[in-house]
A = this chain, B = another copy of it.
């Protein structure tokens, strides 16, 4: 039995653009919200990286927003088979260090600077398919949630893709009742505010941008999982 990376993609969501075409006195307005998703040979970015495991659960630089997530469940039934998909949505987490992003492909359109210390923040949206339709649902949910948080906290991250894979792998390694897991992680950008022009020394102040945000999606699965029936997954 092995753990494999399934379908995955990444992109930038909700870029808000307005275009004005000026034809003399007459202007024409186009109001756009643009999202882009790319998929391809992305195994390396998910699987590589030096994952420095910090012992002892959530690290002192890892935060979970109070309010928790909303727990979800989808059950499919066709008179015979039952398919159970558990999930959570809106689990907002942030690492205030332990994240780098550099070495990416560059061309003449690249404006993003490289960084060796950035804030990594996301709102976890996860759905996992159960191997069968029995079990301790409450206990399983609590355990999966804990594993997701621990993996987010103690993965030293070179990309959000890598963190996504580490989260899914942790769940599959720790919970035999989970056959596969899908994660969608918005990359909630935090831009360091340069206070030097104002004569203020020190750093640690960030602008939390609403839109656009990166959006990383992927499935992590056992290679010997039972086929999905399509009822709920």
Contact = CB atoms under 8 A, between A and B. Distances in A.
A106 interface: no
A217 to B, nearest CB: 15
Nearest to A36: B75
B94 A29 contact: yes
Contact of A210 (B25, B31, B60, B210): B210
Contacts of A17: 193, 205-208
Contact of A29 (B20, B31, B96, B198): B96
A61 B25 contact: yes
A29 to B, nearest CB: 5
Nearest to A209: B16
Nearest to A24: B60
Contact of A60 (B18, B27, B67, B97): B27
Given A25-B60, A66-B66, A108-B199, A96 B205 contact: no
Nearest to A109: B198
A17 B203 CA distance: 13
A149 to B, nearest CB: 15
Contacts of A59: 25
Interface string A10-29: 00000111111110011101
Interface of A: 15-22, 25-27, 29, 31, 59-61, 63, 65-68, 94, 96-97, 108-109, 111, 119, 190, 193, 197-199, 204-211
